[in-house]
Amino acid sequence: EDEQIVAEIMKRRFFPALITHKAWEGFHFAGHEIRITEATDCYGAVVWPSALVLCYFLETNSKQYNLVDKNVIEIGAGTGLVSIVASLLGALVTATDLPELLGNLQHNIHQNTKLKCKHQPRVKELSWGIDLEKNFPRSSCHFDYIMAADVVYHHPFLDELLLTFDHLCKNDTVILWAMKFRLDKENQFVGRFQTLFDLEVISNFPSLNITLYKAMRRGRMKA
């Protein structure tokens, strides 16, 4: 079953018939052809399999997780694929990442959502753990969903990442988080995450070493 679903997910990706000076990949989600411009010299500007897993889940579970008119923030949006798919599914999306990635992120989102979405998505800078209250004040920022794909890997900002999840998440916010398991240090983040949030495994793909989680603040999952 794992291999069958993974094969279906990977079939959503296609490549240009002719190689041009601009590197891009294509994807089929939410009834649209999505073209993503990448930069192979930067981890944040490449589409990783975790993003495809999350996009496939959003599309195939759109009744249970109805995104229409929902306020969604994606952290570590990278190329913007998840934000684009959430927007095409009707959400009001804020796509965030580091300053150096915002140009490519804005390009991809504008190219793939203009005149196609109920709500035009926004792109905003978010450096994990920095100026959170200034840029995303708790009193006025409320997100129905926080989405994250492959934000846990070998980087020195895991403390700041956890702080960012904590700041953005209200009691009724749902976190949808796709994680690829790599090294023990990064994997230990899951245990630390669970000190603040209840975790539920939604999907597991051993062949990709990827797990898709749903999370809410501790004590809120059943409620």
Contact 203, 54 (CB under 8 A): no
Mean confidence (pLDDT) of the chain: 91
Q: What is the pLDDT of residue 52?
A: 97
Q: What is the pLDDT of residue 182?
A: 79
Question: What six digits make up the tokens of 53?
Answer: 């897993």
pLDDT tens profile 172-182 = 999 999 999 87
Q: What is the pLDDT of residue 181?
A: 87
Q: What is the pLDDT of residue 219?
A: 80
Tell me what the mean pLDDT of segment 67-90 comes to: 97
| Nearest residue to 56 via CA among 117, 4, 120 | 4
Q: What is the pLDDT of residue 102?
A: 94
Whether the CA torsion 158, 159, 163, 166 is positive or negative: it is positive
Tell me what the mean pLDDT of segment 22-45 comes to: 82
Q: What is the pLDDT of residue 140?
A: 93
CA distances from 60 to 28, 31, 175, 196 (A): 13, 12, 17, 28
Q: What is the pTM of this model?
A: 0.92
What residues contact residue 174 under an 8 Å CB cut-off, 6+ apart? 65, 144, 145, 146, 214, 215, 216
Q: What is the pLDDT of residue 205?
A: 95
Q: pLDDT class for 222, splitting at 50, 70, 90?
A: low
Q: pLDDT class for 107, splitting at 50, 70, 90?
A: very high
Q: What is the pLDDT of residue 160?
A: 96
pLDDT tens profile 40-77 = 556 557 788 999 999 999 999 999 999 999 999 999 99
* pLDDT above 70 for 134: yes
Tell me what the mean pLDDT of segment 150-166 comes to: 89
- The CATH H-level superfamily of 1-217 is Vaccinia Virus protein VP39 (3.40.50.150)
Three-state SS sequence of 142-203 = CCCEEEEECCCCCCCCHHHHHHHHHHHCCCCCEEEEEEECCCHHHHHHHHHHCCCEEEEEEE
Q: pLDDT class for 24, splitting at 50, 70, 90?
A: confident
Q: What is the pLDDT of residue 184?
A: 74
Q: pLDDT class for 19, splitting at 50, 70, 90?
A: low
Our CA angle for 158, 123, 86, nearest 5°, is 85
